[in-house]
Structure 1
Amino acid sequence: MGGVPALRWDDPPEGPVIALLDQRCLPSEEVELVCTDVPALVDAVQSLAVRGAPLLGIAGAYGVALAAARGFDVEEAAVQLSGARPTAVNLAYGVARARDAHRAALRDGAGPQGAAQAALEAARRLHAEDAEASAQMAGHGLRLLQELLPGGGFRLLTHCNTGALVSGGEGTALGVIAAAHRARELRRLWVDETRPLLQGARLTAYEAARAGMPYTLLSDSAAGSLFSAGEVDAVLVGADRIAADGSVANKVGSYPLAVLARYHHVPFVVVAPTTTVDLSTPDGASIEVEQRPGHEVTELPGAAAGTPVAPLGTQAYNPAFDVTPPELLTAIVTENGVVSPVTGAGLAELCNRSRSGNGMMSI
C-alpha cells in the first residue's frame, strides 16, 4: 500500500518518536499521529488509532524502544503497553521481545544507551519478520484457495480489516486476497461493514479501492443473504488470538460468519502469523474478550461521533471480539504453512515448524 506507512520510527533532533497513520481519520484523511511517550502510544492503541494484531505487536516493541531511548522506566512502560488491549496476544509478544532485548543488554553491561539500541533493533527485527510473514502467508493462502476452489474466479467474503494497515507487510487475510487479485483469480471481494466502528467500510474498502480490487460493501446482517444466494466461495478473516485448541478470537461478527459458512458448506479460513497463536491459552473459553465502551454502539462513529442513535441512557453490549471454535474452521494459514483440519496437535506442530520448509503439508 502506498501513501503514509501504518507505523514508522523517526529520530528528529528533538528526540525519537513513533509516527502512526491515524486509522480513525480514514478513509477521508491520511493523518499521522506522533507519539513522543508511552502514554500517548497506549492512548493510540486503546482509541484504535493503531490496531490489528500484528501491527499492535510491532507498536508494542517500538513503544518499549521509545521508553528506553527517552529515559523512561522501561519495565513500567512494558506493563502499560501489554495491558492496553487484553485480547490481542501480539501486543504482549512484541512488548516482551523488545523488553527482553533491553534486559539482556543491561545484564551484559551495555549501559542505558546500548540497551535502548538493543530494544530498537529488536523492534526493527520484529517489523521485518512480520513483513516476511505476510508474504509467506499470502503464498500459502493463495495455494490453499486454489486447492479448495479449483475453478478460480474467487468470490471472497472478509470481515474487519486485515491488510497493510495492520501489518509490517501486506497483511493477513487481505494479503491473501491481494495475492489472488494479482493472480487474476479474484472475481469479487465482499466487504462486511464491521459494526459498530466500520473497520470494513472505512479501512478494508479503502485498501481494496487503492489496490483496484473488484469489491462490494455490505452491512454485516446482509451476509446471510449472500450465502443463501450462493454468492460466497470462501470466507477469509484474521485473528487477534488463537488458543492452543485452535479456537480463534477475532473481530466480533466472525463467529456468526463461521456458522453461516458451515451451514452453506463454504470454507472458512483464518489467516494469522504464528505470533498470534498463544499455546498458553488452552481453549476458547480461556480467552479474555475485551469489552468496549457502550457509546460506540449508541452513537455514530467517525466524523459524526457523539450523535446519538439510541435513547439517552440505553445500555449497550459491545464486545470487541467473539470466539470461533476449531470445528467451524476449514484451515488456519500461517507463515509456516497451513493446518487443516484444525486441531491442537496440528497447531502446535505448525508453530514449531522451521520457516525453511515449504509449509504446505496439511496436518
Structure 2
Amino acid sequence: MTEPTFDFDRYDRIRPIRWTGDALELLDQRKLPFVVEYVRCDDADAVAAAIHALTVRGAPAIGIAAAWGVVLAARDIDAADGNAAAPQLEPALQRLNAARPTAVNLAWALARMRRVLVAAGADWRDVLAREAQAIADEDLAANRRMGALGAALIEPESGVLTHCNTGSLATAGFGTALGVIRAGVAQGRIGKVYAGETRPWLQGARLTVWELQQDGISPTLIADSAAAHLMKTGAVHWVVVGADRICANGDVANKIGTYQLAIAARHHGVRFMVAAPSSTVDMATPSGDQIHIEERDPGELFGVGGVRTAAEEVGAWNPVFDVTPHELIDAIVTERGVIERPDEAAMRTAFGA
C-alpha cells in the first residue's frame, strides 16, 4: 500500500511521554483539558503509581511508560551484566505489571525488557534504554501505518463515532483509532467526527475532543447514551475504537461501553472497526471469556469533577472494560494489515499460533 501524502506532523502535535535522560515526564491526563502539566517520575514506583492513577493511560502508552520505568529501576541495581541484574529488577517489574492488569501492552513491554536484559553484557543499562526508546519509536510508526490502512476502508465524507481516547495521548503519537480518524480527515474520507463522553472518567469529553482540536479537527461531543439514537439518524457510518486486548478468536477488550456500541452498530447497519497495534494481540488468550476485567473504586461513579452527584450510602459497580465478541466486529486493523470479519481462523492466519 502506498503511504499517504499528507503531513503527519500537522495532525500529530501531542506527546504524552517525555524521556529527559534522567527522568520520565508524563502529561497528567487527569487535569486535561484545563491544565497542561507534566508529572516527573524519578523511579519505577512513581511510574507504577502514575499508571494506576491514570496520569498516563491508553494501552500502548502504558507499555511505553512501564519500559522507561524499568530503565529507572535499573539505576538502583549493582550488577555486572544483565543476567545478574534480572532477579534484582524483577520486583520492580512485578509492581509495574500490577498497576493495570487488563492492558496486554503492559505485560508485553515488560516481557520485551526482560528478554533484552538477560542477554545483555556490561552495558545492560544502555541496552534497556535503547529498548524502551525502540518500543516508543515502533509504536509511532505502527500508528501511522494503521491510520493509512484503516482510513482506506472508509468511504469519502463518512460520519465516524469513536469512544474513549485512542489518540496521541494514549500512544507514542498519532494514535490508534484516532490515527485512523486523523488520516481519514486528512484524506477527505471522514466528514464528521463524533466522540462519546466515556463515563466515568470522561476520556472522550476531556481528552479526545481536546486532542482533535489541537490538530484543527472539529469534533461533536455526545453523551454515551445518545449513541444509538445518533446511529438511527444515519449520521454515523463507522464506529472506530481502540483495544486493550485482542484475543485469538478476535474478541476485543476495550473501554467499558464499547460492547454496547457494537450491538447498536450492528442493529443499525453501521460498520465497526477496531484499530490497535499488533502488540495488543494476545494469541495465548483463546477468547474474551478468559480476560480479567479490571474493576476500579466504585466511588468513581458517585460524582463528576470532584462534585458528588449520587446520594450517600449507595452501592456501585465499576468495571473499566468490556468484551466485544468478534461476531460484531467488521475489521481489526493493525500495522500488519486488515482482518475483515475476524474469527479464530483469520487471526491465526495473521498472527500464527
TM over 0.5: yes
Q: SS of the counterpart of 2:152?
A: helix
Shift of 1:82: 1.1
Shift of 1:300: 1.7
1:64–1:99 Cα contact (<8 Å) kept: no
> Counterpart of 1:21?
27
Report the Cα distance in structure 2 between the residues aligned to 1:237 and 1:2, rounded to whole angstroms.
18
Report the Cα distance in structure 2 between the residues aligned to 1:3 and 1:237, rounded to whole angstroms.
21
Q: SS of the counterpart of 1:66?
A: helix
- Identity percentage of aligned residues: 43
> Counterpart of 1:315?
315
Report the Cα distance in structure 2 between the residues aligned to 1:184 and 1:234, rounded to whole angstroms.
15
Report the Cα distance in structure 2 between the residues aligned to 1:2 and 1:234, rounded to whole angstroms.
22
Q: Aligned AA for 2:53? A: S
Residue 45 (structure 1) aligned to one of 44, 48, 51 = 51
> Counterpart of 1:345?
345
Q: SS of the counterpart of 1:93?
A: helix
Shift of 1:227: 1.0
Shift of 1:2: 6.3
Q: SS of the counterpart of 1:23?
A: coil
Q: Aligned AA for 1:9? A: W
Report the Cα distance in structure 2 between the residues aligned to 1:315 and 1:116, rounded to whole angstroms.
48
Q: Which runs of 4+ in 1 moved over 4 A?
A: 1-4
2:139–2:171 Cα contact (<8 Å) kept: yes
Q: Aligned AA for 1:322? A: D
Residue 286 (structure 1) aligned to one of 261, 286, 290 = 290
Shift of 1:210: 1.0
Change over 3 Å in CA distance of 1:340–1:245 after alignment to 2: same
> Counterpart of 1:361?
none
Shift of 1:65: 1.2
Deviates more, 1:170-179 or 1:70-79: 70-79
Residue 15 (structure 2) aligned to one of 5, 30, 34 = 5
Shift of 1:30: 1.0
> Counterpart of 1:160?
164
Alignment of 1:1-363 (within 5 A): 5-11=15-21, 16-71=22-77, 73-105=88-120, 110-111=121-122, 114-145=123-154, 149=155, 152-301=156-305, 305=306, 307-352=307-352
Report the Cα distance in structure 2 between the residues aligned to 1:186 and 1:248, rounded to whole angstroms.
24
TM-score of the pair, normalised by structure 2: 0.92
Report the Cα distance in structure 1 between the residues aligned to 2:212 and 2:15, rounded to whole angstroms.
16
1:173–1:271 Cα contact (<8 Å) kept: yes
Report the Cα distance in structure 2 between the residues aligned to 1:55 and 1:32, rounded to whole angstroms.
15
Report the Cα distance in structure 2 between the residues aligned to 1:190 and 1:70, rounded to whole angstroms.
47
Shift of 1:3: 6.0
1:137-194 CA distance string (max 9 Å, x none): 011101122xxx3xx1010000000001111120100001000111122211001000
Q: Aligned AA for 1:231? A: A
Structure 2: 5+ residue runs without aligned partners? 1-10, 79-87
Q: Aligned AA for 2:183? A: A
Change over 3 Å in CA distance of 1:246–1:194 after alignment to 2: same
1:4–1:30 Cα contact (<8 Å) kept: no
Report the Cα distance in structure 2 between the residues aligned to 1:209 and 1:4, rounded to whole angstroms.
11
Report the Cα distance in structure 1 between the residues aligned to 2:145 and 2:229, rounded to whole angstroms.
33
CA RMSD of aligned residues (A): 1.5
Q: SS of the counterpart of 1:322?
A: strand
TM-score of the pair, normalised by structure 1: 0.89
Size of the aligned set, in residue pairs, is 334
2:13–2:214 Cα contact (<8 Å) kept: no
Report the Cα distance in structure 2 between the residues aligned to 1:186 and 1:341, rounded to whole angstroms.
22
Shift of 1:313: 1.8
2:63–2:108 Cα contact (<8 Å) kept: yes
Report the Cα distance in structure 1 between the residues aligned to 2:342 and 2:52, rounded to whole angstroms.
31
Change over 3 Å in CA distance of 1:125–1:190 after alignment to 2: same
> Counterpart of 2:5?
none
Q: Aligned AA for 1:63? A: G
Shift of 1:4: 5.9
Structure 1: 5+ residue runs without aligned partners? 354-363
Report the Cα distance in structure 2 between the residues aligned to 1:230 and 1:90, rounded to whole angstroms.
35
Q: Aligned AA for 1:49? A: T
1:4-47 CA distance string (max 9 Å, x none): 62101112xxxx21111111111111100001111111111111
